[in-house]
Amino acid sequence: MAVTSDPVRLRQAMQAVVEWLDGEPDAAEPSRAQLAEAVRLSLHALAADAPGRTVEVRVPPFAAVQCIEGPRHTRGTPPNVVEMQPRTWLELALGRRDWQSAVDSGAVSASGTRADLSGLLPLVRL
């Protein structure tokens, strides 16, 4: 699947998971393909909004991107890494969860001096 920065496609992918994220009583859990598409498109939107190669944002098993201007990382483990589960990433991307509370609770692992995404979130408002 080619990843695109098409805002319409991104909104559609996020709309497909939002009821599940919000805990709607009749909401079905999204398929793996729906989760993957929402994660990939939103991560690529983050990279487009904050181009660079200083911070690596990982949402296994679906995707990882490098973003934010600064010193470029080329080998080994990056000095600035953010990692979380798909649900946490989607909640942050949609503004359903606060960055600091996600970090404080351990839902987000953020290491390095530039690994704070709070100023870039949310990415999509539905």
Q: What is the pLDDT of residues 96-125, one digit of tens each?
A: 999 999 999 999 999 999 999 999 999 999
Residue 78 lies in a domain: yes
The answer to whether 114 touches 55, Cβ cutoff 8 Å, is yes
Cis peptide leading into 25, omega within 30 of 0? no
Residue 27 lies in a domain: yes
CA 4/CA 74 separation, integer angstroms: 24
Residue 79 lies in a domain: yes
DSSP state letter for 67? E
CA 94/CA 65 separation, integer angstroms: 18
CA 43/CA 24 separation, integer angstroms: 24
| 4, pLDDT greater than 90 | no
Residue 1 lies in a domain: no
**Per-residue pLDDT averaged across 87-104, rounded?**
98
Q: State the pLDDT at residue 35.
A: 97
Q: Which residues pair with 111 in a beta bridge?
A: 81
Q: What is the per-residue pLDDT across 25-83, written as a single tens digit (0 to 9) for each?
A: 999 999 999 999 999 999 999 999 999 989 999 999 999 999 999 877 677 777 899 99
CA 108/CA 7 separation, integer angstroms: 25
Residue 103 lies in a domain: yes
Residue 75 lies in a domain: yes
The domain containing residue 116 runs over which residues?
7-120
Number of domain units in the chain:
1
CA 42/CA 39 separation, integer angstroms: 5
CA 67/CA 69 separation, integer angstroms: 7
Residue type, 12: Q
CATH number at 83 reads: 3.30.1050.40
CA 32/CA 3 separation, integer angstroms: 16
Residue 24 lies in a domain: yes
Residue 37 lies in a domain: yes
